[in-house]
Amino acid sequence: MTDRAPFLIVETGHPVGSLKRYGRFPHWIRVAAGLAAREVAEVNAVRGEPLPAPDGVAGVIVTGSAAFVTDRAEWSERTAGWIREVVQEGTPLLGICYGHQLLAHALGGEVDYNPAGRESGTVFIDLHPPAFEDPIFAALPPRFPAQATHLQTVLRPPEGATVLARSEQDACHAFRWGEHAWGVQFHPEFATHHMRGYVRARADCLRNHGRCPRTVAREVSAAPQARQLLRRFVQHARGQHGIRAGAPRTDRG
């Protein structure tokens, strides 16, 4: 079988301690996306590992994190600059949770604490009309469940972005910038045991925001439609990589 271009997963954080036995975020994403280990390359941005040129990769996926974009950490700002270059060059990219917020920040949007407070558990995502013609959202129902856990959010999407989805607490749960860059605030890679683990880990914060952790945990349910997004992104990026690889080169002098 001919080797296919890998997907680059940029690691921006790690799971809460109680979930580390399930592996790191890149593993969760790879499994949910249906990718074999040989089809994935990883780089840990937090540890300062060099962010490679996207030449030769089919697409980029940026993970979630417990960090805050508003802290403007050196590694985060450096990653934001790299993301901006990658998407401006047309490489398909999907940012998840922190990755979603970092993509918005990199392109000039505004990220800060959600005025509605912590959003956690299985939430319902409502699509906006542009999503029905979007390459990775089009096959999804107008309303579907997804797993979410976050305090910060995209308050103002980047100029030129198309907002694709919202939830009761978050007006920008997904957006597309250009033709091949997406951010999703929810976690398509989370299974129910991941989500319940996060609810337990964030129990005190939930109480501080007027939520009952036991109720939130009890209401966690499967979110297969949200999970489909990862595989649809992979399919889209594979198709685009084939187009890019087959495009004739033009000399610039």
Which residue among 14, 180, 187, 194 is the active-site one? 187
**187 part of the active site:** yes
Alpha-carbon distance values, 119 to 101, 122, 219 (Å):
15, 9, 13
Which residue among 11, 14, 97, 172 is the active-site one? 97
Which residue among 119, 150, 189, 236 is the active-site one? 189
**97 part of the active site:** yes
Alpha-carbon distance values, 4 to 49, 98, 186 (Å):
24, 28, 28
Active site residues: 97, 187, 189
